[in-house]
Amino acid sequence: MTRTDQLQADCSRCFGLCCVALPFARSADFAVDKPAGTPCTNLQEDFRCGIHGALRERGFAGCTVFDCLGAGQKVSQVTFGGRDWRDDAGTARRMFAVFPVVRQLHELLAYLAEAIDRAPAEELTAACERVDALTRGSAEELAACDVGAVRAEVSALLLQVSERLRAGLPGREARGADLVGARLRGADLRGANLRGAYLIGADLRDADLRAADLVGADLRGADLRGADLTGALFVTQAQLESASGDATTAVPGHLRRPLHWSLPQVRRTAGRAARRSGR
């Protein structure tokens, strides 16, 4: 069984793969264009980010919401046995091709781990073991992996778990719904099926999202201030990092409150204090 600590990124054991293998386009999330296989200009010789403490301020908010879920060190240390991609162009090409595959498999492992924790079942454990075995294959085996088929199998199992856990709740059906910019302030979304929903920029202030299924939901820029995500299903840290929230947002117990959420709250508090003091 995969331990959840193996699904946590350890940059000290990775060769900066997310900063090299993946492409990004100049946008609100990235300050520049970068093609796949080309090192980011902020990547240092020791594979650390030169602006890690100021990514948002420097226009790289997209980097702050990415989580390889341990795929970086898996590819670096297991698949390629600690070989540095800088030493050989052939190794680099293979490593960069394999990294996204392992990242997707690790995402599925994370979902399965949560499902097992919430509703233990032999079929879930078996699926977890199969996916974990895939991540430990050779570079050639990983390159040939049909991730789509694996995802479809796991998705079906996760949906079964979701339906059991949401049974008896209001359960609004909004799977894959276009809710970009939707006004959902104070909405009762308990047990809602929001799998793959587009909630970009949605107003979810004070919304009740308890036990809602949010697997794959796009929460970029969504306003979660005052929202209750207690017991929400399959929420990831990356989803929270991409949204806005504050101290009044109730997040699932296994996730941490994003650091940038506190900044607006701090500024508001400071402003109130200044007004009270007459400054």
| 237: Cβ contacts below 8 Å, ≥ 6 apart | 67, 255, 256, 258
Q: For residue 5, which of 272, 271, 254 has the smallest C-alpha distance? A: 254
Per-residue burial over 35-74, b if 16 or more Cβ lie within 10 Å, else e, is eeeeebebbeeebebebeeebeeebbbbbbbbbbbbbbbb
The answer on pLDDT for 275 being more than 80 is no
Secondary-structure percent of the chain, ordered helix, strand, coil, rounded to 5: 45, 5, 50
Q: Is there a contact between 65 and 240 (Cβ–Cβ < 8 Å)? A: no
**pLDDT value, residue 5:** 77
Q: Is there a contact between 151 and 172 (Cβ–Cβ < 8 Å)? A: no
Measured CA to CA, the distance from residue 123 to residue 158 in angstroms comes to: 11
Measured CA to CA, the distance from residue 234 to residue 112 in angstroms comes to: 9
pLDDT band at 241 (very low <50, low <70, confident <90, very high): very high
**pLDDT value, residue 263:** 56
| pLDDT above 70 as % of the chain | 92
* Amino acid letter, residue 86: R
Predicted TM-score (pTM) of this structure: 0.89
CATH architecture of 169-265: 3 Solenoid (2.160)
CA angle 103, 128, 3 (to 5 degrees): 75
pLDDT band at 240 (very low <50, low <70, confident <90, very high): very high
Report residue 140 as tokens. Answer: 């050639």
- Give CA torsion, residues 238, 242, 247, 250, to 10 deg: -50
Lowest-pLDDT range of 3-7, 179-183, 271-275: 271-275
**pLDDT value, residue 132:** 97
| 212: Cβ contacts below 8 Å, ≥ 6 apart | 166, 189, 190, 191, 192, 193, 194, 229, 232, 233
The answer on pLDDT for 264 being more than 60 is no
The answer on pLDDT for 3 being more than 80 is no
Q: What is the pLDDT of residues 73-109, one digit of tens each?
A: 999 999 999 999 999 999 999 999 999 999 999 999 9
221 CB burial (10 A radius; 0-12, 13-18, 19+): middle
Q: What is the pLDDT of residues 114-163, one digit of tens each?
A: 999 999 999 999 999 999 999 999 999 999 999 999 999 999 999 999 99
The pLDDT of 210-214, averaged and rounded, is: 97
In the chain, where are the structural domains located?
4-166, 169-265
Residue 43 pairs in a beta bridge with 49
- Give CA torsion, residues 247, 260, 111, 35, to 10 deg: 160
User: What angle in degrees, to the nearest 10, is found between the helix axes of 122-135 and 89-118?
Assistant: 170
**pLDDT value, residue 38:** 96
The answer on pLDDT for 271 being more than 60 is no
